[in-house]
Structure 1
Amino acid sequence: MAVVTMTQYGALPAVQITAADGAEATVSLFGAHLLSWKTGDGKERLFVSSQTPLDGSKAIRGGVPVIFPQFNVRGPGLRHGFARVSTWRLTNSGGDGGKSFLEFSLNRSDLAPEHAQAWPHAFELSLRFTLHGDALESDFRVRNSGEQTFPFGVALHTYYDVGHLAATSISGLQHQRYTDHHQNTLTQEHPALHFTEKHDRLYQSTPALTLNTANATLRLEQQGYDNWVVWNPGQADAAALVDLADDEYLRFVCIEPARIDQQPLDAGAVWTGTHRITAD
């Protein structure tokens, strides 16, 4: 039986769920931000920067930031949107059949006045994190509850704790076209992607990827999204980030399911995206 407890992460109110097999997830109400995911063997699978503020003053560096309604600056509003800096509500939780879940919701009435004014659309978001054995599933639902079509982009900007970047690779992208941070469009020829410098690549989505690290193998699957984004800042960019210790870039890789270009959602329509991570 799942155990759900209210807790704190830094100064942030958070919710922790512990499954019968010992797997755990901790989510802050600020941003519906998944801060920790431990499989039943006690291993932490996510990375959170030691330098990030944990008081709600700015977005959190690490875990799983929720990107909505725009990716980066691909839209007219706040960079990466307001969802990651808004306070969500815990609206459901529980467990049965070996699954344990937490569900969070956000709508227009939850927004700070400046965000509601800047993005004047009626919407309802729900995000459910489900623990199932050595897997974590994130189900993201966007509903247009207004009377006008609105455009949106979305991503789950997942930071994986890889231990040692030099021993990390991603397979499943061979022969896939990608756009890099220089806006070059290329094709990945090698069977596996390795990290020896800055990476900021946008791939078209594939059914599944495998993240190989020194001490774990994770299978990543997605539905509903259009892209995989792969990011590591490299040494120079990491040094310029005030909320990341200079050497912490060696400990993580971001791989995120995304729809980076804003696409229309009609009045009354619903979009859903699923991201599943399985530890082998």
Structure 2
Amino acid sequence: MHTQPTPSANNNLQYNKVGSLDAFTINGDGFHAVVLKQGAQLIHFSTDADTDLDKADNWLWLSELAEYESGESVRGGVPICWPVFGQFNANPQSVKDSFSTVSAMPQHGYARTQPFELERFSVDNTNQEATQTATLVLRLDHNNIDPTFNSAPNLGLTAIFTFSEKGFGIELITHNNSESTVTFSQALHTYLPTADISKTYIKGFDGTTYSDALTTDPVTGGWQTKTQHGDIEFKGSVDRVYHSAPQIALTTPKYRYQLSATSSDSTVIWSPGQQFAPTISQFAADAYQRMLCIETANAHLDVVTLEAGDSHSLTLKMSRD
């Protein structure tokens, strides 16, 4: 990732180019972040003193083959999957009915490739838990999306990012500006790095049921429901939707991450493994050994139904030891 900074009125916020994409770079006391305007996608967060972000220790995984081109979602960071998660036809009927007027809904929805607008940026030096907190608010309005998706329900999306030396948070607020009830699915598709996927494990899901996307139920023909026993380990390809969103502890050979969510009862755990790595765009054949995804979601059995005029907030907070 190579940013090209340009001056801005606020020393804590710079406007950049990453490849051909516009980006916001936030520099605070003890932290740095980069958020793409396209998709409101966080691609870098670090707490290094070094301001050379190519050398900094990114908390997030970002593919070395990532492409920063308009209309293409970047492989890594935290893509926002919205207003549908996954393959459109794999969503519950209520979601498919809400977006039936869209002739070709992309996988993971359309927000990932749409330009968000800056609504607000602020810096707070009075936070008792951190020396400084920066807040970036980006907005996607229905009238600014690609005309291809104009027939979709009139939903608005606000993405609120908070950064400090302690970690970061993301809040997604969906506004139903239409005159009808709308059901949607979504996820914060967080990519995380590891030095060795085989020595990586996740605590928090012991006893939790999950839907295994890689195993077919012989009776229903759908994803097989299983129960997690002990920690989640990675001994091959993993693609699961856990039916809860607990306090999560991710342990890698180098770091321990803590993730917490609100207004979510589904968590997607994904590791493509050697089997599926060759099928993934912007992804090296051996990259599966160095990454995994923990996705804070409203998906599968946990979709959201909004009445006209209502809103819904999904949040993720992350820290690291």
**1:89 matched residue in structure 2:** 117
Question: Aligned letter for 2:227?
Answer: T
Match of 2:39 among 28, 31, 47: 31
Question: Aligned letter for 1:224?
Answer: S
Cα distance change on mapping 1:275 and 1:222 into 2, 3 Å: same
Match of 2:188 among 138, 141, 156: 156
Structure 2, unmatched stretches of 5+, are 1-9, 50-55, 97-104, 127-131, 216-222
Does the 8 Å contact 1:88/1:105 carry over to 2?
A: yes
Match of 2:161 among 112, 120, 129: 129
The SS at the match of 2:64 is coil
Write the deviation string for residues 115-153 of structure 1: whole angstroms up to 9, x where unpaired. 113x1x222211111012221110110111121111111
Structure 1, unmatched stretches of 5+, are none
**Hey, which of these two has a bigger chunk of strand by percent?**
1
Normalised by the length of structure 1, the TM-score is 0.94
Cα distance change on mapping 1:206 and 1:2 into 2, 3 Å: farther
Larger RCO, structures 1/2 (Cα 8 Å, 6+ apart)? 1
After TM superposition, give the deviation of residue 2 of structure 1 in Å.
6.9
Q: In the aligned structure 1, how far is the partner of 2:306 from the partner of 2:259?
A: 26
Q: In the aligned structure 2, how far is the partner of 1:205 from the partner of 1:16?
A: 33
Q: How does 1:197-276 map to 2 (within 5 A)?
A: 197-261=236-300, 262-276=303-317
Task: Please tell me whether residue 107 in structure 1 is matched to residue 141 in structure 2.
Answer: yes
Task: Please tell me whether residue 176 in structure 1 is matched to residue 215 in structure 2.
Answer: no
Task: Please tell me whether residue 186 in structure 1 is matched to residue 186 in structure 2.
Answer: no
Does the 8 Å contact 1:3/1:18 carry over to 2?
A: yes
Write the deviation string for residues 46-90 of structure 1: whole angstroms up to 9, x where unpaired. 111122321123221111110111111224432210111111111
Q: In the aligned structure 1, how far is the partner of 2:187 from the partner of 2:175?
A: 16
Does the 8 Å contact 1:177/1:188 carry over to 2?
A: yes
Identity fraction in percent: 28
Q: In the aligned structure 2, how far is the partner of 1:242 from the partner of 1:69?
A: 22
Question: Which is worse superposed, 72-81 or 235-244?
Answer: 72-81
**2:220 matched residue in structure 1:** none
Q: In the aligned structure 1, how far is the partner of 2:180 from the partner of 2:141?
A: 16
Question: Aligned letter for 2:81?
Answer: I
CA RMSD of aligned residues (A): 1.5
Match of 1:80 among 97, 108, 115: 108
After TM superposition, give the deviation of residue 40 of structure 1 in Å.
4.2
Q: In the aligned structure 2, how far is the partner of 1:242 from the partner of 1:129?
A: 27
Return structure 1 stretches of 4+ with deviation > 6 angstroms: none
Q: In the aligned structure 2, how far is the partner of 1:276 from the partner of 1:204?
A: 19
Residue correspondences, number: 276
Question: Aligned letter for 1:178?
Answer: Y
**2:75 matched residue in structure 1:** 61
Question: Aligned letter for 1:275?
Answer: L
Cα distance change on mapping 1:61 and 1:242 into 2, 3 Å: same
Normalised by the length of structure 2, the TM-score is 0.82
Flag the structure with larger Rg: 2
